Amino acid sequence: MTSQRTFLATTGSGVARADLAADGTWTVEYVLEDQDVRCLASDPFDTNAVYAGTQGNGVFRSGDRGRTWQPAGMQGRVVKSLAVSPHEPGVLFAGTKPACIFISRDGGATWSELEGFRRIPFRWWWFTPAETPNQAYVQAIAMSPVDPKVIMAGIEFGAVVRSDDGGESWSAHIPGTMRDCHQLMFHRSDGDWVYQAGGTGGGAAFSRDGGRTWSKAGSGLAKHYGVACAADPAEPGTWYVSVAPGPATAYGEQADAYLYRSEPGGWKPIGWEGHPMRHMPLSLVTDPEEQGHLYAGLLNGDIWHSPDHGRAWHKMPFNLGAVWRTLVVLGR
């Protein structure tokens, strides 16, 4: 049930945390406020454990559902993305700026660089206009749910690449994907399906062979600046994407936002108000335990929930201040 969840979100200045109090009301608190938190990742082996990547102070770990945090390595580094292995406890990956990937096999106690990532062809021209200095960074890391050796990474702005040997070596940019990668994810259980939301070249793309080949999925979308995506845990062909005309509207107060669900005949517009929507869904999250459930975290801090693939919606009775790219929903 939704009332049994804990919500964590990056706000641009720390982490917002919403939890259900004993009296049945929701309480919101702000933690890690002295850190510029850029990403969050939950641990599939421990529902109480969450990792946070920061802008210059490495990784932090919480063992109590985000109430308190301790350093977990990578001090001094800008960590833009995190992924926790679904195959082996304690294994996690960190994507940084400048664009490198590091691995820890002991829950963040020690880290080592995957040096093969530095040998990706043509990485010398990766460049992002998103923030100064204009070095590209690893915006997303995705791990196959069935093969621990298969890892994918998305660079903003640069490439989408794949490794089939645990990160020792990497492909060049994969045709059909968008170089301006905003989100990249495998389906939770079906290793054939991979999804991308990207800022240039269509807005959305997908793979049905584990990330080897890709198809653009932008046809039928009103706009083509893809921001976030998510997939239903039971139906890999049912997935979602939020789009906008461009970065100025996607991250502004008047978003001109659109939210879609894939269907056999194409994209179906969904949402709690008519399109375009005023506030951008910067993060989309499905519930691995409940088919059809979808959460949308908005830039203004509201969280909307649908129990039926986006047909009906209700707003959660709390506001997180902002949801800046990452929303994590923890079960009990």
Is 134 a member of any domain? yes
Is 31 a member of any domain? no
Tell me the CATH number at 177. 2.130.10.10
pLDDT (0 to 100) of residue 26: 93
pLDDT (0 to 100) of residue 231: 97
Number of domains in the chain: 1
- Beta strands per DSSP E along 72-124: 78-84, 92-97, 101-104, 112-113
Is 67 a member of any domain? no
In the numeric block, which tokens belong to residue 192? 């054939």
What pTM was computed for the model? 0.95
Residue span of the structural domain in which 290 resides = 81-318
In the numeric block, which tokens belong to residue 250? 């996607």
b/e burial code for range 278-287 (CB count within 10 A of at least 16 → b): ebbbbbbbbb
**DSSP string over 111-178:** -EE-GGGGG-TTGGG---SSSSS---EEEEEEE-SS-TT-EEEEEETS-EEEESSTTSS---PPTTS-
Is 36 a member of any domain? no
Is 113 a member of any domain? yes
SS3 at position 3: helix
Is 10 a member of any domain? no
Q: pLDDT tens digits, the chain, 332 residues: what are they?
A: 444 689 999 998 899 999 988 788 899 999 999 999 999 999 999 999 999 999 999 999 999 999 999 999 999 999 999 999 999 999 999 999 999 999 999 999 999 999 999 999 999 889 888 777 878 999 999 999 999 999 999 999 899 999 999 999 999 999 999 999 999 999 999 999 999 999 877 899 999 999 999 999 988 999 999 999 999 999 999 999 999 999 888 888 888 999 999 988 899 999 999 899 999 999 999 998 889 999 999 999 999 999 999 999 999 999 999 999 899 999 86
